Chains A and B, each alone.
Chain A
Amino acid sequence: MFWIRTFILGIKSLLIHPMRSSLTVLGIFIGVASVIWLVAIGEGISQQAQRQIEGLGAENIIIRSIKPPSEMTAGFRGAIPYGVTRDDFDTLVATIPTIKSALPIREIRRRISYGPRDPADGRLVGCTPDYREVTMLQVDEGRFIEPSDIANKKSHCVLAAELAASLFPYEDPIGKSVYLAEHKLFFLVVGVMKRRGPTAAIGGSLAAQDFSQDVYVPITTLEQLIGDFVIRRTGSTFETEKVELNQITLRIDGIKNVRSTAKLVRRTLGLRAEDEEEEDEAGPVRRGRNDVAVVVPEELLEQARVTRLMFMVLMGLIAAISLLVGGIGIMNIMLATVTERTKEIGVRRALGATRFHIIAQFLIETISLSVVGGLCGVIAGVFCPMVVRNLRMFVDHMWPDILAKMPAVIQDVTPIVVRDSIPVAFGISVAVGVLFGIYPAIRAAYMDPIEALRHE
C-alpha cells in the first residue's frame, strides 16, 4: 500500500512540471534507444560480414597468386613467372592427406563476342566441375563444366547471367558459339548461371569478387589453347607474365583440421605462417616467396568475431556515454526539484515522514522517469530495423546519389535487434535512475526539518 501510494504521489509530483519531466525522460529514452540501435546495427554489420566469409566456405583454404611488386621484377627480361604452379598443386594434393578436394583456377581477362555485335569484357575462368559447388553458384540453364569436358579438353563454356544477357540480348545462348578474337578461338555455350551478387574481397585481390563477367571453361582446355603466358601492353612496352594458376581452393575434411592443414600448406608452399617462429628447421623452406597468399576463411571468421566484439564494445561505450548524460540530466532535475520542494520535505518530516520515506519518495520519482524513458527507448529500439529500412528508402528516393556513394555495408545493412540488449538496456536505465537519484534523495532526507520548514 505504501509503495502504491508513494508511486501515485511520485507521478503526481512529476506531472506538476510535465515539460521538465518529459525532457528528462527524453534523455533516458535517447540513451536506451541508442544502446539497442547501436548494438542492432553492429550486429547487422557483423552478421553480414560473417555471411560473406561463410560464403567463402569455412572448410576451405584459398591459395591465391599475387603479382610481386614491380620493383622486384624490374630488369627481369622475358616473361615474369609467379604464383602457384601446377607442380605446387600436385605436391599439395599428393602430400597432405586432409585435403578432401582441390580446385585449381586460372583467370584471364579477355574480350568476348558473339556475331557482329560489339565484344564484351569477360573473365575467362579455367576451372573444374567442383568450382560451382565451392563458390555456391547455381546453373540457370543447360549445365556446368563436366568431368568429360576436362578429360577431353572440350571447347565448351558456361556464361554468367549478366554476360549472357549482354552477349545474347535476343537469342538463347545455349548451343551458340562465342568468339575470342585475341586467340581466334570459338567456345560452345553449354550453360548459363544464375545471377550472383559480388562477395567480399578474397586474399590478394582487394576488389570484391564479381561473378557477373565470368566465362567458365575447362581448365585443361584453357591450358592447352591459351597457355600460361599473359601479354599486357603498358604504354609502348609489352609485359609478359607466366602464371600457371591464379587460385587453388582446397576443401578440408572437417573444420577442426583447417588450421593445421593451413599451416602445412603454408610450409609446403614455402611461406611462413604469421605465428610461426623464424627458425631454420630442416625442410625445403623457400625463403622470400611473396607471390602466393594463403587465405583461411576460418581464420577470417575468427577475426570477424574479434572485430565484432570490438565493434560491440565501442558501440556499447558510446551508448553508455549517452546513458550517462541522461543520468546526469535526471540528477540535475532531481536536485532542482529537491531544492524547490524543500518546504514540502520539511512539512512531510514534521508530519512524521522518516528519512527512509523521503528517500523512497524521491527515488520513486527518478525511477519512474527512467523507467518511462527506458520503456520508450525499448519500443523505439525494437522498431530500429523498420526505421532504418524506411530511412534508406526515403534517402534513396530523395537523394539517390548520396546513397549510391555510400559503401556497400551502409547501403544494405539490416540492423538485427539483439534480444539480450533489450533487458540489458532497460536494466541499465533503471540502474541509472537509482544511481543518479540516490544523491538528491539522500540530500533531501538529511535536510534539517526545522531549516526545511523555514525555507520559502
Chain B
Amino acid sequence: MNLSARINELTKIYELKGETVHALRGVTFDVPEGDYIAIMGPSGSGKSTLLNLLGCLDRPTAGSFYLGDTNVAQMNDYELSRIRATRLGFVFQSYNLIPQLSVVENIEVPLYYQGKVNSKSRRRCVELAAMVGLEDRLNHRPTQLSGGQQQRVAIARSLVNDPYFILADEATGNLDSVTTDEILQLFNRLNDEGRTIVMVTHEDEVAAHAKRIIRLRDGLIQTDERCSGFAPSS
C-alpha cells in the first residue's frame, strides 16, 4: 500500500521563557493512502504541535516526516509554503475563509499561490463547489453563508490542489449537531472516494467516524488502534 505520509521519531522541543517544553518526544506512525485517522488527546498532549508539523507550518526538532517521497522535516520557509500550496489541504475549526472573496475565489486560493489560476482551474473550483452542494452559491461572500456552508467551502478548498491528505483541525467544533453530522458524512464520502483524512478532535463521537484513532499523551503515542466499530454513514 502506498503511503501518504510517514512520520518517524518526530520530536519537538520549545524554549519558552527559558523553560524547555518537550511537546513531542518521538512520535512514529504511517499514514497509508485512503486512511481516515483521528488524532485525540487531552490539552498539553502535543496534539496541536503534531498538527502544526503535519500541516508543514512548523519544523520538528528531530525526526523525519515524509510526504510521499519527500522529507519535509528540514525544509525552509519558502519550500514549506510551496508544499502547503501544492500538496496539503487544511480545514479549520473557524472555517477561515477570506471575507473579501466569493465562494469560488476562496476555493481557488491555493491554486492562486501555485500560480495555476486559469479558466480550467476555475471550472475545477466550480465542480468542487458543486460536489459539496454549493453550486448555487458560487458568488456569495462567506458572511452570506451559514457555518455549515462555510465549512463545506473550506473542505472544497482543501481538495482543490489534490492533497496528500486533508488536515482537519476540530472541523466540527463550531457546528451544531445536525451540521456536524452533515460535515462528517461529507468526510466519510470523501474517504470512500479514496481521500486520506487526518483529523484532530477531542470529541469521541466525531472520532468514531474515523477508521483509526491515535491517542497522544505527554508527547507520545499512547494508543494507535483501528476502529472495530467503524461508524456507518447514517
Binding site for B on A (CB under 8 A): 1-2, 5, 9, 12-13, 16, 343-344, 346-357, 449-450, 453
From A12, A350, A356, give the contact of B55 (CB < 8 A): A350
Contact check: which of B81, B114, B118 meets A349 at CB < 8 Å? B81
Nearest B residue to A347, CB-CB: B96
A331 vs chain B, min Cβ distance (A) = 22
Known: A348-B98, A351-B109. 19 other contacts (CB 8 A): A2-B112, A2-B115, A9-B100, A343-B96, A347-B98, A348-B113, A349-B57, A350-B57, A350-B92, A350-B96, A351-B85, A351-B90, A353-B85, A353-B113, A354-B78, A354-B113, A356-B78, A453-B92, A453-B96
- Binary contact readout B68-82 vs A (1 if CB under 8 angstroms, 0 otherwise): 000000000110011
Residues A1 and B100 in contact in the complex (CB < 8 Å), given A350-B84, A351-B109: no
What residues on A are CB-neighbors of B57 within 8 Å? 349-350, 449-450, 453
Asked if A352 and B110 sit within 8 Å, CB to CB, the answer is yes
Chain B residues with CB below 8 A from A346, complex form: 96
B28 within 8 Å of A (CB atoms): no
If A343-B96, A449-B57 touch, whether A354 touches B81 (CB-CB below 8 Å) is yes
Cβ contact within 8 Å between A344 and B81: no
Whether A352 and B86, one on each chain, are in contact in the complex, defined by CB atoms closer than 8 angstroms, is yes
Do residues B157 and A450 form an inter-chain contact, with CB atoms below 8 A? no
**A450 near B52 (CB under 8 angstroms)?**
yes
How many Å from the CB of B231 to the closest CB on chain A?
29
Shortest Cβ distance from B118 into chain A, in angstroms? 7
B117 near A: Cβ within 8 Å? yes
User: Contacts A12-B100, A450-B58 given: A357-B113 contact, CB under 8 Å?
Assistant: yes
CB distance from B79 to the nearest CB of A (A): 9
Contacts of B90 in A (CB 8 A): 350-351
Decide if the interface of chain A is mainly helix, strand, loop or mixed. Answer: helix
Closest 10 CB pairs of A and B: A352-B85, A352-B113, A354-B81, A352-B84, A12-B100, A347-B96, A351-B110, A353-B113, A449-B57, A351-B109
Q: Is the CB of B77 within 8 A of A355?
A: yes
Cβ distance B151 to chain A, nearest Cβ, rounded Å: 14
How many residue pairs link A and B with beta carbons under 8 A? The number is 73
Given A1-B118, A357-B113, A450-B57 in contact, is the A351-B100 Cβ separation under 8 Å?
no
| A451 nearest CB across to chain B (Å) | 10
A449 proximity list for chain B (CB < 8 A): 57
Q: Residue among B58, B90, B96 with the most chain A CB within 10 A? A: B96
Whole-angstrom distance from the CB of A13 to the nearest CB of chain B? 6
Please give, as numbers and ranges, the residues of chain B lying within 8 Å of A356 by CB-CB distance. 78
Give every chain A residue within 8 A of B85 (Cβ-Cβ). 351-353
Q: Is the CB of A351 within 8 A of B118?
A: no
Give which listed residue, B52, B78, B82, B112, contacts A5 with CB less than 8 A.
B112
B78, B85, B117, B118: most-surrounded residue (chain A CB, <10 A):
B85
B58: chain A residues within 8 A (beta carbon): 450
Q: Which of B35-91 contact A (CB under 8 A)?
A: 52, 55, 57-58, 77-78, 81-86, 88, 90
Residues on B with C-beta less than 8 A from A357 are: 81, 113
The one of A5, A351, A355, A453 that contacts B157, using a Cβ cutoff of 8 Å? A351
B211 to chain A, nearest CB (A): 25
Is the Cβ of B96 less than 8 Å from the Cβ of A353?
A: no
Closest B residue to A344 by beta carbon equals B98
Provide the bound-state CA to CA distance between A34 and B84, in Å: 47
Residues of the B chain whose Cβ atoms lie less than 8 Å from the Cβ of A5:
112, 117
